[in-house]
Each structure stands twice: as C-alpha cells, then as structure tokens.
Amino acid sequence: MPKSEPMLSVAEVLEMQPGDDQNATWINPGFIAEVAAIKPTTVKSTGNPLNICTLKDTSGSATISMTVFGPVKFGIGATIEVSGKGLRRTEYKGMEQVSVGKETEIHVVSLGKTPAPPTNSEPVAGQRMPDGTEPTQPVYGGTVGMAMKEALALLTRELTRDELIEQLVSQSFWKAVHEVSSDIIQVSLLLEKGRLAPSVKERTAGPAPAAPQPEPQKAAAPSGQPRRGQPQTERQAANQADVVDEDVQDVPF
C-alpha cells in the first residue's frame, strides 16, 4: 500500500510560483497551517458570507492568505489541513495567497482557543441591522422556509387561480407574507428557548376561588350597660357611677 505524501508547510507553498486562471499552480497533495486570523465579511454583489483567513506556518513565521466562501468551522489557533481539487497557489494585488475550489477539503486537525466566527448564515442575537432599526434574531434557512411555506398556505388557501396570480404581484400580499412568517418564527424561537404556553388544563381551568374573608368581630358592649349574668347590685352600681347628680353645684370659696 503506497505511503501518503506529507502535507506541505506554508513556507513550502510560498516557494511555489503563483499561477492564474490560464496557468494554474496546483498545490499537491495539500498543506498544513495554523489559523492566525479570520476576517468575516460578505460578497458585495450577493451578500453571501465569506471569510478571509490568515494562515501561519506551524513551525515558523511565514503566513499566507486564504479566502473561504461560506462559514468556517474553525477558530483562531486551530490547525487545519487543506487539500483536494481546486487548491491553487495564487496572488492578488501583491498579496500571497492560496485559492480553494468547490471540491477543496478543509480538515480541522485541532481546535483553536476561540470559536468559529459567526456569519450571515449564523446571525448573532441582538445584532443591529445595517440601517440601525431592528435587531436580528438567530433565524436559519430551514426555519425561514418552513415559516414562509405555512404563511403562504394560510394566505392563499381560499384564493382562486386568478386571484392568486393577482396577489403574487401585490406589494400588500408579500407584506402580509412577511408579517405572518415573522409571527411563526417568533413563536418558534420562543419554543426553542423552552418558553412554552400554559398547558391545556391551565388554559381551560376556571378562575381560582376567592380566599375566604375573616368574619367581622362583634362590637364590645358599651361600658354603661351591664353584662349578661352580672348581679343586680353590680349593675346598679355601674349605672350610678355613670350618672351625674344635676343638683350638685360647685361650692364657692
């Protein structure tokens, strides 16, 4: 069984003559490098994500640039092996770089100290939109497709063919699709966070019974009235103590 060729170093790749579309310089079998920096950005024409990576020699200080179209699965400090079809030694505006193709493979040998950077396909919650108005939410392509499918089904289920054709060119129709899809996604995000609605039992249960009110206390009998069972002599003494003799006058001195 033939022994596989060792991966090139970044320094060895830099020794190769840069090629172009007419005269490509293929990198075989591939090279190994440490990820020194990652700059996430987007393609201006399409808005698709891309990452400009600075790769460092694993045993030296030589560096080279590599652009990855789409999200990356490695972070700064990771060691990666790049190989496969479409891997070329190139140069752009005097910058030494390698170019990858659709069939180029990037294998992560060891993870770095920092996680892979977020991209447009993996948005950060709370990040402001370019116009600074509404924060984005972590919404993925599958969720968007599901929400739009359900929104279109709800908004078109009672339309005839002619009505549907008319609605498809209506701005208000697509505004409604956007709003309904957003509502579905917002509920989906709440469910993913574990924020569930109350159970059926809780929703159908009647109002909770009111707490019992304490009985009002009976007012105490006036001090001038005898208590039940009090002896007659005590009642008379109590009454006499409360009576003022109108015939008694102050004696002048």
Whether 49 and 89 map to the same domain: the answer is yes
Are 167 and 104 in the same domain? no
Domain tally, the chain: 2
**Any domain includes 231:** no
CA quadruple 23, 28, 34, 35: dihedral sign: positive
Minimal CA–CA distance to 24: which of 100, 80, 107, 81?
100
Residues 95 and 14 in one domain: yes
CATH number, domain containing residue 17:
2.40.50.140
Q: What is the pTM of this model?
A: 0.46
Note whether residue 40 is domain-resident: yes
In a domain, 5, yes or no: no
Domain that holds residue 174: 141-192
Rounded Cα distance, 230 and 251, in Å: 37
Q: Determine how β-strand 95-99 pairs with β-strand 79-84.
A: unpaired
- Domain assignment present for 55: yes
Q: Are 103 and 49 found together in one domain?
A: yes
pLDDT in tens, the chain (253 residues): 445 678 999 999 999 999 887 888 999 999 999 999 999 888 877 778 888 999 999 988 999 999 998 888 888 899 999 999 999 999 988 889 999 988 899 999 987 666 666 544 444 443 444 444 444 555 666 778 888 888 888 888 888 888 888 887 788 888 888 899 888 888 887 887 788 888 888 878 877 677 777 777 666 655 555 555 555 555 555 555 444 444 444 444 4
Q: Are residues 14 and 106 in the same domain?
A: yes
